[in-house]
A and B are shown apart, each in its own frame.
Chain A
Amino acid sequence: MKLIQANDNNAFEILYSRYRIPVHSYLSGLVNSNTADTIVEELLQETFIKVITKNSTFKYESKVKTWIWTIAKNTLHDYWRSVDHRISQSLDSLHSEESGEELYASPLDSQEDLFLSKVTKQQLDACIKELPEDQREIVFLHIQSELSNQEISELTGASVGAIKSTLFRCKEKLTACFKRGGHL
């Protein structure tokens, strides 16, 4: 980070290569729109442009990854505020860009794995979209950011206990949804 603050572009490229996929996956999991791909790419660009231009505001009071995820989260929330995404969410819940029934390859080391291996992308997307937005955000922060529950708690304002119980409840909801075949 010190190198980035000293205008070292190579240092930024290393940072970008480290976070490009997790941040894109996080945004992608939380943006529901007919033009989700375009919007996610725009939000990704906005996030990293803020990382570049606001690098001097990083004061080493937190970890770099916490700072980056804070920027990504705020960028997403700004987008949510800028559009009436709740309307589009309800419309898009009926829409799936993936029409294929491609099966995910999963390690078949148990009956549970066998069950999950039969979950299609369409079912997975539909089940994830079924989760309430605040819970979905916690799930995607948990799975993509590599932040601890304590760090997610600081980022979202929810208690560590609430985060743990949210993750547990979401797992139950998703599993139940998979068993229903992804039907809403």
Chain B
Amino acid sequence: MKTNNTFYSWIALKTQTEPSSTADKKILAFSSQYFKKEEKSFFALWKLTGAFALTAAVVLVVLINKNSSIQPGSALMSEAPEMILHYNDIELMADASRLSDADWARINGQK
């Protein structure tokens, strides 16, 4: 009696069947179409991601340039002028503008 392996090799050989060329064509056509589509969608996604990254980079560069051109003091001056009025120096200057000539003469040491 043949061994299991030889016996089953014989059965395998005898029961071997092959798909028709139509089935082969259908499967290969499907795979070709599927992988082409997948590749396209991959590149489309890649392009979309690339475009988004580029836009983000441009916006970032513009913002950085814009911020670097702004003077620190100018923002303070333009946005909160009323606060400056409370600075002691300004108050003093405002007071000084109201001094009379006699007051100035006294300040300058003229008697």
Inter-subunit contact B17/A25 (CB<8 Å):
yes
CA distance A112 to B9 in the complex (A): 14
Interface residue? B103 (CB, 8 A): no
Chain A positions 13-36 with a Cβ under 8 Å from a chain B Cβ: 13, 16, 20-21, 24-25, 28-29
- The B interface is mostly helix, strand or loop, or mixed, namely helix
B interface residues with partner A (beta carbon < 8 Å): 1-2, 4, 7-12, 14-20, 22-24, 26-28, 30-32, 34-36, 38-39, 42
Asked whether A12 and B35 contact (CB < 8 A) given A143-B9, A143-B11, A167-B8, the answer is yes
Q: Which residues of A contact B22 (CB under 8 A)?
A: 41
Inter-subunit contact B8/A142 (CB<8 Å):
yes
Interface residue? A152 (CB, 8 A): no
Tally of A-B Cβ pairs under 8 angstroms: 90
CA distance A8 to B39 in the complex (A): 9
- Contacting A16 at CB < 8 Å: which of B9, B12, B15, B27? B27
Q: Which residues of B contact A139 (CB under 8 A)?
A: 8, 11
Chain A positions 123-150 with a Cβ under 8 Å from a chain B Cβ: 124, 128, 139-140, 142-144
- The A interface is mostly helix, strand or loop, or mixed, namely helix
Q: Which residues of A contact B11 (CB under 8 A)?
A: 124, 128, 139, 143, 174
CA distance A48 to B35 in the complex (A): 13
Interface residue? A99 (CB, 8 A): no
Q: Which residues of B contact A8 (CB under 8 A)?
A: 35
Inter-subunit contact A21/B27 (CB<8 Å):
no
Inter-subunit contact B17/A49 (CB<8 Å):
no
Q: Which residues of B contact A168 (CB under 8 A)?
A: 4
Given contacts A29-B15, A143-B15, A167-B4, 4 further A-B pairs with CB under 8 A are A24-B18, A28-B15, A128-B11, A168-B4
Select from chain A the residue with minimum beta-carbon distance to B37.
Answer: A7
B25 to chain A, nearest CB (A): 11
